[in-house]
Chains A and B, each alone.
Chain A
Amino acid sequence: MISKKTEALDAVAIRFAGDSGDGMQITGDQFTGTTALVGNDLATFPDFPAEIRAPAGSLFGVSGFQINFSSREVYTPGDRPDVLVAMNPAALRTNLPDLKPGGILILNTEQFNEKNLERAGYQTDPQADGSLSSFRVYPVDITGMTLKAISDIGLNQRAAVRSKNFFALGLVYWMFNRPIEHTLEWIQKKFAPELAAANERALKAGYHYGETAEIFTHNYTVEQAPITPGRYRRISGNEALGLGLLAAAELSGLELFLGSYPITPASDVLHFLSQQKHLGVKTFQAEDEIAAVAAALGAAYAGGLGVTTTSGPGMALKAEAINLALMLELPLIICDIQRAGPSTGLPTKTEQADLLQVMFGRNGESPLVVLAAKSPGDCFWTAIEAVRIAVRQMVPVIILTDGYLANGAEPWPIPQMSEIPRIPVQFRTDPEGFKPYLRDEMLSRPWAVPGTPGLEHRIGGLEKQHETGNISYDPQNHEFMVKLRAEKVRKVADLLPPTVVDGDAEGDMLVIGWGCSDGAIKSAVAGMRARGHRIGHVQLRHLNPFPNDLGDILGRFRKVLVPELNMGQLAMLLRARYVIDVHSFTKVQGKPFQEIEIRDAIGAQLEAN
């Protein structure tokens, strides 16, 4: 065996790309798990097509998974990969523009045949025509070597070919000096004996190929990151959201009821919670989006923690029922895992364009509490806060996440339930002086659930008289009630802690974002501050109501930049509310922000007058 040298790197971004049937998501997932165990900080970006199984070799069927891992803190999946594993010409063609100049390119040569080249739109073979000369290209017959390695297991050709992603994974494990044991264990658990044997063999073959093949002169290592001590696990946004809802149920003592209808990218929350029946969760897969929210509202009325999960198109359908919840003044949690719209849009791609929909997309004056999660793990904490607010104020609360947070993963310090404050809930039981819409000091009303003797009462969507809740068509009462419902939501701001400003507390520019842009903004702001600019960063969790101190914070900076994956929706709200000139920086490509894009936008705005 040739002894090869190992080079230490600070950070590496790898992208696995192949057909949607090539197992790229599994490959990325495995690499992520192992990398987390090695102790690197990391962030991931799974990017897959809307089609379940697009025709093999087609450009639109390419599925990708990017992971950025480092010996330092990582906030984003990396702007441009250092390494691209392309399982076929289509994967090469769609992903090559992102690869860093001088980056490593591993090609599965077996797939570079005439038919596939043509499908990918190549006139000539890029391996031979010099178009890849600015990269370090490693042509590897991944399929061929996989088949050879597992030939005696007796799988048919079709099944055997499917092990090739494990060969690629093994090779990349070797390149970045990762142990293969974690994946070996997983393979044993996941697959039937024959397939497990084949995958194991392929994984090892890939690893050994790296070790022995002469084309690889050395491999790389990325040291452990200085991560805050503690116990960690990997978490995706959808898992964290599900866990957060479960935690909120436990902290409040309420029974969790999820009404949901399958929709990308929210369905995983339904799947996850459906598996937690042992915690008393009831899940209801409804006949449509409307029934899903309606049933959740029914559960809230009956004294449960009513939750519905969906994405933008589903939000549009739920609007009327959400408005009923507002009118009834019942706690209801509505999770919008945003995706690129309008209409069906790009169902598997991310966007932040539902903000104005959730703010205003209902009839009448309909203010709701709106919260946004900023990282996969933050979905957990956002869910708990949403429930806390909903039951305190007897209001529906909307949680915004998005496809990028939902599917992206990060290492996550495991929370201790015993350290999280309980969520106080008190059902009304005393019939003495009971009125359904009697107000407390926060303008909240009593939660009087069916089955409580002496509290029989009627509620509905018609305007109601102050306190008694009886139907009222009185014009003065209507205006009073509209204002009261608005004030009730506004009062949520009084419950909030001071807004956290990262970086400078005053100065040249405040960059204010929400949701999944957190990592990219954080990195970009750090970079610009290192060049001497005085920049602050606020990642807004509370989109409605805005925190009470936000106006002051905005006033402490010369300029305000609002990067968003939409056409400037938060910017519009900030302008309207604070009557200030904010600069909107937008992107609507179905992809998250890159650090460099935000850095450039900051730079451009700082220079402009």
Chain B
Amino acid sequence: MSLYPNLPPTDASALQRKDFQTNQDVRWCPGCGDYSILAQIQRTMPELGIPKENYVFISGIGCSSRFPYYMDTFGMHTIHGRAPAIATGVKTLRPDLQVWVVTGDGDAMSIGGNHFIHTLRRNVDLKILMFNNRIYGLTKGQYSPTSEQGKKTKSTPMGSVDYPFNPISLALAAEATFVARSVDVDAKHLQEMITRMARHKGTAFLEIYQNCNIFNDGAFDYLTDRKTKVEHELKLEHGKPVRFGPGGAKGIALNNRLEPIVVDVAEHGEDRLLVHDETNQSLAFLLSRLVHPDFPTPLGVFHMRERPSYDQLVQAQVDEAKKRSPVGSVQALLDAGETWTVR
């Protein structure tokens, strides 16, 4: 199309962290986990070899959704829950762009739940970062769809009665082709996950445990505190036995009802342990059911598989249709079918 700016792409190899920083005041509360996530994104983007002008960051509503204002890329701060749908339009029209969606547990799991699952189902080539702080921050502290049952908040003075979503299980059930989890303060792991998302063709979903130090402080302390972390953190590694705990002393095995159980490796032997296979969707689902406090919390890539993305498939149909009918013009369509001439 002659209309589109047919300018040569800028040099991606020279990009630095500061190229992705804006001059806007960051308005998150001091100490908020969002700062670390922003920093890791800004550190990772220059490494990906993508020209800066091709990045688009699209967010919904919530604390996390302020994110695009702080990224010096194309960005759109949209409306509550709709970011995946808007991003789908961007990516479907322009498969050349690298489109990221920034959302939160309220934005993605509650008001935008429908768009979330359908985006995953379609496998639109979007990178979805979901900051999960298990609370509504921007509206000042109501429980969210990922809050644990019994959570006391302003809107649930006697404790919430609804059961939470497990975002990883939900994403897997929605046929996501890349599902991973990380945590705000683990800079290295977060960077690794972001890089892997960027490289994945299709919807990549990353749940990031994020501390809201104002309304839900310490929700993930068990996983980030130096003292308790080693007991609770389970780093998933493709092709490796699923082990955790000090020195990898414990592992996950199956009982005879095919349910996951924690076993002592020395006692049962490594052979009894599950071996992580990212391409195995059923195994990924099983691992997603490991929930604190009964189990360690898995971090890393639960599942990844290849499948043509929605935007690719749509483009392929357009290309195919053009090939089949090379002389496409609106005039031909206007003239098609039954016509008659009045003299």
Given A229-B343, A453-B51, A302:B89 Cβ within 8 A: yes
Please name the residue on chain B nearest to A323 by beta carbon. Answer: B79
B338 in contact with A37 (CB, 8 Å): yes
A457 in contact with B74 (CB, 8 Å): yes
A470 at the interface (CB under 8 A from B): yes
Least CB distance from B326 to A in Å reads: 8
Least CB distance from A97 to B in Å reads: 34
A462 at the interface (CB under 8 A from B): yes
A297 in contact with B10 (CB, 8 Å): no
A301 at the interface (CB under 8 A from B): yes
CA distance A450 to B341 in the complex (A): 47
Given A284-B92, A414-B339, A301:B73 Cβ within 8 A: no
CA distance A227 to B9 in the complex (A): 56
Q: Which residues of A contact B321 (CB under 8 A)?
A: 277-278
CA distance A276 to B328 in the complex (A): 9
Least CB distance from B79 to A in Å reads: 5
Q: Which residues of A contact B78 (CB under 8 A)?
A: 294, 324, 460-461
B7 in contact with A39 (CB, 8 Å): no
B2 in contact with A253 (CB, 8 Å): yes
Q: From the candidates B4, B22, B340, B341, name the one contacting A449 in the complex (CB within 8 A).
A: B4
- Interface locus among A47-55, A254-262, A564-572: A254-262
User: C-beta contact mask, A374-415 vs B, less than 8 Å → 1, else 0?
Assistant: 000000000000000000000000000000000000000011
Q: Which residues of A contact B79 (CB under 8 A)?
A: 294, 320-321, 324, 461
Q: Which residues of A contact B91 (CB under 8 A)?
A: 298
B34 at the interface (CB under 8 A from A): no
Please name the residue on chain B nearest to A297 by beta carbon. Answer: B86
A456 in contact with B118 (CB, 8 Å): no
A453 in contact with B88 (CB, 8 Å): no
Please name the residue on chain A nearest to B75 by beta carbon. Answer: A458
A291 at the interface (CB under 8 A from B): yes
A303 in contact with B94 (CB, 8 Å): yes
- Interface locus among A207-215, A231-239, A334-342, A481-489: A231-239
Identify whether the interface residues of A are mostly helix, strand, loop, or mixed: mixed
CA distance A579 to B53 in the complex (A): 52
Q: Which residues of A contact B333 (CB under 8 A)?
A: 243, 246, 276, 279
B243 at the interface (CB under 8 A from A): no
Q: How large is the interface on A (under 10, 10 to 19, 20 to 34, 35 or more residues)?
A: 35 or more
Interface-central residue, B92, B97, B317, by most chain A CB under 10 Å: B92
A282 at the interface (CB under 8 A from B): yes
Q: Which residues of B contact A277 (CB under 8 A)?
A: 317-318, 320-322
Please name the residue on chain A nearest to B323 by beta carbon. Answer: A278
Q: Which residues of B contact A455 (CB under 8 A)?
A: 53, 74
Please name the residue on chain A nearest to B314 by beta carbon. Answer: A282
CA distance A296 to B92 in the complex (A): 10
Least CB distance from B171 to A in Å reads: 16
B97 in contact with A294 (CB, 8 Å): no
Given A277-B317, A298-B88, A470-B24, A458:B77 Cβ within 8 A: yes
Least CB distance from B280 to A in Å reads: 28
Please name the residue on chain A nearest to B9 by beta carbon. Answer: A453
Q: Which residues of A contact B54 (CB under 8 A)?
A: 450-451
Please name the residue on chain B nearest to A296 by beta carbon. Answer: B89
Could you tell me which B residues sit within 8 Å of A by CB distance? Answer: 1-5, 7, 9-10, 22, 24, 51-56, 58, 68-69, 71-79, 82, 85-94, 96-97, 114-115, 118, 314, 317-318, 320-322, 324-325, 328-331, 333-335, 337-343
User: 4 nearest interchain CB pairs?
Assistant: A298-B89, A460-B77, A295-B89, A294-B85
Additional 7 contacts, C-beta under 8 A, given A243-B333, A253-B1, A458-B24: A37-B340, A231-B340, A287-B85, A294-B115, A451-B4, A460-B77, A470-B24
